[in-house]
Chain A
Amino acid sequence: MMQIKKYRLFKILRLVISYAVLIIMAAFSIFPLYYVFVTSFSNAPNLISLAVSDLLPKHIYFTAYEYLFTTNLYGGSFPLWIRNSLILAGSTAIISVLLALITGYALSRLNVPAKKILATFIYIVTFFPYTASAVPLYLLFAKFHLLNYIGLILAYTPGTSIFAAFIAKLSIDSIPASYEEIAMIDGLSRFGAFLRIVMRLALPVVALTALLGFSGTYLDFALAYSFLLPNVKEWTATIGLYYMAGLLNQASAPAYNIFAAGAVIMGIPLMALFIVSQRMMTRAYSNLAGVKQ
């Protein structure tokens, strides 16, 4: 009897502690988001003017949003830059997916010379932060007249796809080759079987790569800044936001409410992509059946 009672008490205690930890963690991660969200609807440009009581806003102001959507800065505007960012990030995502999966497929299935060394090398390269290469890339690309979108996509893609290629290899390793073999016998070429069967079966990796490629490019500032600064019409949303919020009042600190509003707007496509790709990942895992082991 005592034993059972003790056990029950222990169980309740364990539950209480784990919930407490989870709630604290959740608060820590949700609070900044909430803070940004609230700030974006305030008309106070600096953080200092926000008191604890302001965490529950009494008035909602749309001034920051209005400013972002109506201001024209050196011939560019925030909606234009958002569009630029989406195009750039989308292209990077698509090219990264193709590159990563083709590389992963080759490493997994084909008889590539020095395959093991290549795979290990790719693995090691993923350890280097790619911002470290911003300066050499700038100097190199300036020589080739590639300080534009094509150059940026060329610079972003390997950063994502080299990491994703390694994951793609592992993922394709676990897909039985008989799927493609049957598809090839049934009338597809090897590349056709790759596009229609392997890509579909490796959907979690496709989704992950697209997500990494998209968010990496979409949120990048350093490389885009060094490549695109002279041409305002080609700016991305991050550069645009930096100047819009920073130049509003040059004497004081940047206008945080504008920063926050920009962050909220920029977050919408990212959020949508996250939801879609998460669904793709879970669904792909749930019907990974169809072969008898």
Chain B
Amino acid sequence: MMDYVKLEDIWKEYEEKKRKVQVLRGLNLEIEKGEFVVILGPTGEGKTTILKIIAGLLRQDKGHVYLRGELVDDLPPKDRRVAMVPQNYAIYPFMSVYDNIAFPLRVMHSSKEEIRKRVLEVAKMLRIDNLLERKPSQLSGGQMQRVAIARALVKEADIILMDEPLSNLDAQVRVVAREELKQLQRDLNPTIIYVTHDQVEALSLATKVAILHNGVVQAYGDPMEIYKRPNSAWVGSFLGNPPMNIIRGEIEGDSIIIDNYRVALPEEYKNLVKSGQKVLVGVRPEDIEIRDDGEIEGMVEMVEDLGPYSIIHLKINEETTIRVIEKSLSRRERGEKVRISIDTSKVVLFDASSERNLLEQYEKVKKK
């Protein structure tokens, strides 16, 4: 067991306006040393709660937290040797930037020269060494974020918790900050647990992404792997923008019947399904092509022009709408009839009742 951070069966309940809300329901998460794990989930699903439980600011109702292989349930925050960058940065307004960054070292009673050396080193690394004399009120959002990261790095904690640190930045600054954060993690190699609701951040930053929903981790692993092969219909429809199309279908021989149309059954699923079985077909909007000889016909219901591409909502029947990404610049009109073709090699099939990936279920059986 070399898990650097481990959450074991964590339960947490809040009381909100006299109503009890179960935020975390038996959450498990194992993180190895040096990983950049992004916990991704919709707002209000307890992402920040997880960070606070790891830091020791909140006590879980049930379950255990292990840091560096040790049980830390009874350790107060100050003894857990973690650092945190909160969403609002929480830079003390009454101290200069230098004093803010030096604060953790002062609390540890480091010597004056040591503090000066460390603060200058970290400030130089984050390119804020020219701001050290300023007051926080004179900083821009991006600068504040750097100061907050500097304060987290200065005490050399090897576990850093980040609570949506980029969400307050402008779009352009955010792209740069994201790249710098990635570089920083590569250079210093701390274990970072980063919480966000922004998928782009999750996909671009994480070495591993954990998708949180209903109080448990729904999927955990390589972000692109989860993107390509979601283990459940919910994960598929949550991850990605525009989300994955989840379409009802039925197996008939070597093909899937969607409405009145027939689509070839992907090779890898051939042995897993039988005729007459109801399935959910998951297909990414970018894996669908608009072409005149396509096997499915639909009516254009809505067009979202996003610049580099457009998202076209096609109505197949009363209950099914398929989103398609079209990269060409041809303009579509509402009500226009269009034929599409699905790239079946990229299709994922889910069980109609459990909504789990059929391939995953099969692999579980095989392992046993």
List A residues at the B interface (Cβ < 8 Å).
176, 178-179, 181-189, 192, 197, 200-201, 203, 284, 287-293
Determine if A186 and B141 form an interchain contact, defined as CB atoms under 8 angstroms apart: no
Q: Is A181 touching B90 in the complex (CB atoms < 8 A)?
A: yes
Say which residue of B55, B93, B94, B136 sits within 8 Å of A185 (CB atoms): B55
Residues of chain B with a CB closer than 8 A to A289's CB: 93, 136-137
Query: Are B104 and A186 neighbours in the complex by a CB distance under 8 Å?
Result: yes
Q: Which residue of A lies closest to B80 (CB)?
A: A185
A-binding segment of B4-12, B81-89, B298-306, B348-356: B81-89
Give B112-140 as 1s and 0s: 1 = Cβ < 8 Å from A's Cβ atoms. 00000000000000000000000111000
Which residues of A are found within 8 Å of B183, using beta-carbon distances?
none
Query: For residue A184, which residue of chain B has the nearest CB?
Result: B77
Given A178-B90, A186-B107, do A292 and B168 touch, yes or no (CB 8 Å)?
yes
Determine the distance from Cα of A189 to Cα of B92 in the docked complex, in whole angstroms. Answer: 17
How far apart are the CA atoms of A176 and B104 in the complex, in Å?
19
Given contacts A186-B107, A201-B92, A289-B136, 18 further A-B contacts (CB under 8 A): A176-B90, A178-B88, A183-B107, A184-B76, A185-B77, A186-B78, A186-B83, A186-B103, A187-B104, A188-B78, A200-B92, A200-B94, A287-B94, A287-B136, A291-B88, A291-B90, A291-B93, A292-B89
Say yes or no: A186-B155 contact (C-beta < 8 A), given A176-B88, A287-B135, A292-B88. Answer: yes
B168 touches A290 (CB 8 A): no
Q: A178-B88, A182-B84, A185-B78 are in contact. Are A292 and B135 (CB under 8 A)?
A: no
Chain A neighbourhood of B94, CB < 8 A: 200-201, 203, 284, 287
Determine whether B38 belongs to the interface, using a CB cutoff of 8 Å to chain A: no
| B161 → A minimal CB distance (Å) | 8
- Against A, the Cβ 8 Å flags (1 = close, 0 = not) of B221-254 are 0000000000000000000000000000000000
In the bound complex, residues from chain A placing their C-beta under 8 Å from that of B84 are 181-182, 185
Interface residues of B (CB under 8 A from A): 52, 55-57, 76-78, 80, 82-84, 86-94, 103-104, 107-108, 135-137, 141, 144, 151, 155, 168
**A to B CB contacts below 8 Å, 30 in the list:** A178-B88, A179-B90, A182-B84, A184-B57, A184-B76, A184-B77, A185-B55, A185-B78, A185-B80, A185-B84, A187-B104, A187-B107, A188-B107, A189-B76, A189-B78, A192-B107, A197-B92, A200-B94, A201-B92, A201-B93, A201-B94, A287-B94, A287-B137, A288-B93, A290-B92, A290-B93, A290-B137, A291-B91, A292-B141, A292-B168
User: Which residues of the partner chain A approach B77 to less than 8 Å between Cβ atoms?
Assistant: 181, 184-185
* A-B pairs with beta carbons under 8 A, tally: 87
Do the beta carbons of A187 and B55 come within 8 Å of each other? no
Instruction: Tell whether, in the assembled complex, residue A287 and residue B93 are in contact, meaning their CB atoms are under 8 Å apart.
Output: yes
B67 shortest CB reach to chain A, Å: 13
Contacts of A201 in B (CB 8 A): 92-94
Q: CA separation between A189 and B78, bound complex, in Å?
A: 7
Contact A292 B144 (CB under 8 A): yes
The minimal Cβ–Cβ distance linking B262 to chain A, given in whole angstroms, is: 54
Q: State whether A290 touches B136 (Cβ < 8 A).
A: yes
Q: Is the Cβ of B57 less than 8 Å from the Cβ of A185?
A: yes
Which residues of the partner chain B approach A197 to less than 8 Å between Cβ atoms? Answer: 92
Contact partner of B83 (CB less than 8 A), chosen from A185, A188, A192, A203, is A185
Provide the residues of chain B in CB contact with A200, threshold 8 Å: 92, 94
- What is the minimal beta-carbon distance from B108 to any residue of chain A, in angstroms? 6
Closest 5 CB pairs of A and B: A290-B93, A289-B137, A290-B136, A187-B107, A186-B104
Report the bound CA distance from A293 to B168 in whole Å: 8
B107 neighbours in A (Cβ, 8 Å): 183, 186-188, 192
B136 proximity list for chain A (CB < 8 A): 287, 289-290
Q: Which residues of A contact B93 (CB under 8 A)?
A: 201, 287-291
CA A203 to CA B93, docked complex, whole Å: 12
* A292 to B85 Cα, complex, angstroms: 13
Give every chain A residue within 8 A of B155 (Cβ-Cβ).
186-187
A111 shortest CB reach to chain B, Å: 9
Whether A178 pairs with B86 at a CB distance below 8 angstroms is yes
Closest beta carbon of chain B to A32's beta carbon, Å: 38
Q: Return the chain A residue nearest B87 by Cβ.
A: A178
Of all chain A residues, the one with the shortest Cβ separation from B169 is A292
Enumerate chain B residues within 8 angstroms of A192, measured Cβ to Cβ.
107
- Chain A residue numbers with a CB within 8 Å of B92 are 179, 197, 200-201, 290
Expressed in whole angstroms, the minimum distance between the Cβ of B71 and any Cβ of chain A is 19
Chain A, Cβ-Cβ closest to B84: A185
Asked if A182 and B90 sit within 8 Å, CB to CB, the answer is yes
For residue B211, give the distance in angstroms from its CB to the closest CB of chain A. Answer: 25
Q: How many Å lie between the Cα of A188 and that of B89 in the bound state?
A: 18
Alpha-carbon distance A203/B94, docked complex (angstroms): 10
CA distance A183 to B108 in the complex (A): 12
Tell me, in angstroms, the Cα distance from A251 to B171 when the chains sit together: 84
Q: Please give, as numbers and ranges, the residues of chain B lying within 8 Å of A187 by CB-CB distance.
A: 78, 104, 107-108, 155
Chain B residues with CB under 8 Å of A290's CB are 89-93, 136-137, 144
Provide the residues of chain A in CB contact with B144, threshold 8 Å. Answer: 290, 292
Residues of A near B151 (CB, < 8 A) are 182, 186
How far in angstroms is the closest Cβ of chain A from B141? 6
Residues of A within 8 A of B89 (CB): 290-292
CB neighbours (8 Å) of A189 from chain B are 76, 78
Closest Cβ of chain B to A181, distance in Å, is 5
